[in-house]
């Protein structure tokens, strides 16, 4: 196994099982504008920024509302839900992060979600102290599958891309990690919709498998 020096975690569907909440709130937001999408149609936006998602919806369905207004309305609604019902860490996440911390392996979050949302979720889940760097959707110009967010995270960690491990649950995220020349662990999360993770270097169903793969225990 190569000498990996840092871990980069996607947040949604990896650190917390947030995609079911997101999809439900997206359905509510779309419905206000007369847009109805099935799970397959919703799944194509998993791992992308809200700007990317709303830009596509606005264009495809001819919505007259301003893009920033569409995003702000949806974000306010989602933050209310996340405040009222905090998401717990996914099983095994805290144990994996604790093992990495004890081993001196620096960790970053690279999430397509807005910073206010990322920081709220990580704080409520008690995970924020494990990460030395947090890169969010509003820090980058290009959404996943573009590698920009992962390359930025590696640069902030001070680690070469080829020495980074990325953990992702979405096809866009896996594509972005591979485009960044990083080793990618595909976390098969059935709640993240219909995702093709075949391009990942390693496939797991739970975080304990990552712990075993990296630490051998």
pLDDT tens for each residue of 82-91: 999 999 999 9
**Residue where a domain terminates, one of 49, 66, 84:** 84
Specify the pTM: 0.90
Task: Please tell me the total count of domains within the chain.
Answer: 2
Is the pLDDT score of 25 beyond 70? yes
- HSE, CB side, 13 Å, CA atoms: give it for residue 164: 32
Q: Which candidate, 17, 52, 27, 32, places its Cα nearest to that of 207?
A: 17
pLDDT at 23: 87
Do residues 137 and 211 share a domain? yes
- Domain span at residue 75? 19-84
pLDDT at 75: 93
Confidence of residue 3 (pLDDT cuts 50, 70, 90): confident
Is the pLDDT score of 207 beyond 70? yes
Q: Would you state the structure tokens that stand for residue 32, as one six-digit string?
A: 């206000």
The answer to whether 16 and 175 are in contact (CB under 8 A) is: no
Q: Which candidate, 133, 135, 89, 78, places its Cα nearest to that of 112?
A: 135
Confidence of residue 45 (pLDDT cuts 50, 70, 90): confident
**Residue where a domain terminates, one of 40, 65, 84:** 84
pLDDT at 182: 98
- As a whole number, mean pLDDT of residues 80-104 equals 96
Q: Is 202 exposed, middle or buried (0-12, 13-18, 19+ CB in 10 A)?
A: middle
- As a whole number, mean pLDDT of residues 199-210 equals 98
Do residues 71 and 52 share a domain? yes
pLDDT at 217: 67
Report the percentage of the chain scoring pLDDT > 70: 99
Is the pLDDT score of 194 beyond 90? no
Do residues 120 and 187 share a domain? yes
- Residue 164 counted as domain residue: yes
What rounded mean pLDDT belongs to the chain?
94
pLDDT at 106: 98
For residue 43, what is the domain's CATH number? 1.10.150
Report the percentage of the chain scoring pLDDT > 90: 87
Choice among 43-47, 137-141, 158-162 with the minimum mean pLDDT: 43-47
109: β partners: 9, 134
Catalytic residues: 10, 12
- As a whole number, mean pLDDT of residues 49-61 equals 92
- Residue 1 counted as domain residue: no
Do residues 111 and 200 share a domain? yes
């Amino acid at each position: 196994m190569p000498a990996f020096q840092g871990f980069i975690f996607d947040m949604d569907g990896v650190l917390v099982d947030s995609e079911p909440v997101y999809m439900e709130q997206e359905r509510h937001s779309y419905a206000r504008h007369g847009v109805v999408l099935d799970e397959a149609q919703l799944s194509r936006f998993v791992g992308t920024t809200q700007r990317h998602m709303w830009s596509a919806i606005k264009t495809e369905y001819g919505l007259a509302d301003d893009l920033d207004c569409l995003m702000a309305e949806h974000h306010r609604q989602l933050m209310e839900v996340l405040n009222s019902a905090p998401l717990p860490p996914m099983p095994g996440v805290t144990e994996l992060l604790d093992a990495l911390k004890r081993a001196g392996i620096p960790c970053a979050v690279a999430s397509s979600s807005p910073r206010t949302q990322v920081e709220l979720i990580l704080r409520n889940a008690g995970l924020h102290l494990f990460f030395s760097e947090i890169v969010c959707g509003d820090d980058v110009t290009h959404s996943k599958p573009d590698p920009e967010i992962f390359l930025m995270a590696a640069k902030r960690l001070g680690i070469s891309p080829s020495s980074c491990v990325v953990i992702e649950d979405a096809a866009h995220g896996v594509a972005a990690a591979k485009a960044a020349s990083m080793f990618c662990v595909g976390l098969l999360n059935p709640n993240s919709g219909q995702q093709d993770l075949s391009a990942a270097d390693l496939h797991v169903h739970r975080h304990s498998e990552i712990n075993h793969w990296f630490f051998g225990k």
